[in-house]
Amino acid sequence: MWVRRAAIRPVPSYALLMARALGEVESELADTSDDDVGHDGDDGDEGADLDAYFTEFEERQPALAEHIALVLGKPLDETALALGYFLTLAVWLAFDRNFEGRLEVVGADAVAAVEQSLALDEELRRLDPAEAVDSDDVVAMEQPHVLAFVHEHLDAALEVHAGEIDVDDVHAIYRVVLVEVLALSYAVRPPEHYILPKTEFTA
């Protein structure tokens, strides 16, 4: 049995995002892409549509969107960049749709705190040669369906573009998604009349 030893705060059970929510958002984004295909079969302005989603993201979650934009604004491999836009938008939309009315705005301090806790957790594991669990494994234990969704798309991109995609760029995307997942998880308010179990705590 794995005993929790991490610098990453646990995610409350009421903030657990299910696979269904992610599937619905994936379909929404896919439908949008289909709508952008012209009648002659040529691709339409799909990038402009993703920009519209990201603009909404910036309006609803400015600090988190700014943190992500710092990574997406770097000179990344095109495939990694497209993957980054898709995953960061899909994760935010899934939280926003599923926890409508209960998702608070993530402040800059909260983003920095998550970034610091993730970095500390990574350092603790790096210094312990007996540590068999990586930091992303800890996040996966807290939000298993979200990380399964992220891994599915990362693995597919790496398989299709093997030898072409820059793996360092993919890692940068992966890490910023981990920060996003944790930040949004902590931003979910408990439902009304929720009784917090003794094994859970909130910030």
Q: Are 76 and 169 in contact (CB under 8 A)?
A: yes
pLDDT at 198: 62
Whether the Cβ atoms of residue 192 and residue 2 lie closer than 8 Å to each other: no
156-167 burial, b at 16+ Cβ within 10 Å, e below that, comes to: ebbeebeeebee
> Where do the domains of the chain lie?
46-186
pLDDT of residue 43: 46
Distance of CA 46 to the CA centre of its chain: 21
Average pLDDT (123-127) is 89
**Looking at 30-39, 75-84, 124-133, 188-197, which range is the least confident one?**
30-39
Task: Read off the pLDDT of residues 142-186 as tens digits, 9 standing for 90 and up.
Answer: 999 999 999 999 999 999 998 899 999 999 999 999 999 999 999
Does residue 102 or residue 128 have the better pLDDT?
102
* pLDDT in the model for residue 192: 84
**Phi-psi map region of 73: left, alpha, beta (phi>0 left; psi -120 to 50 alpha):** alpha
Residue pointed to by tokens 């938008």 = 89
Helix/strand/coil for 196: coil
Q: Is the pLDDT of residue 132 over 80?
A: no
pLDDT range class, residue 4, cuts 50, 70, 90: low
Mean pLDDT of 110-117: 97
- pLDDT for 40: 39
What is the predicted pLDDT for the residue at 42? 46
Query: What pLDDT shows up at residue 57?
Result: 96
Q: What whole-number distance in Å separates Cα of residue 144 and Cα of residue 141?
A: 5
**pLDDT surpasses 60 at 201:** no
CA-closest candidate to residue 96, choices 155, 153, 48, 53: 53
pLDDT cut 70: percent of the chain above it:
86
Question: Per-residue pLDDT tens for 168-177?
Answer: 999 999 999 9
pLDDT in tens, 81-97: 999 999 999 999 999 99
Burial 10-45 (b: 16+ CB within 10 A, else e): bbbebbebeeebbeebbebbeeeeeebeeeeeeeee
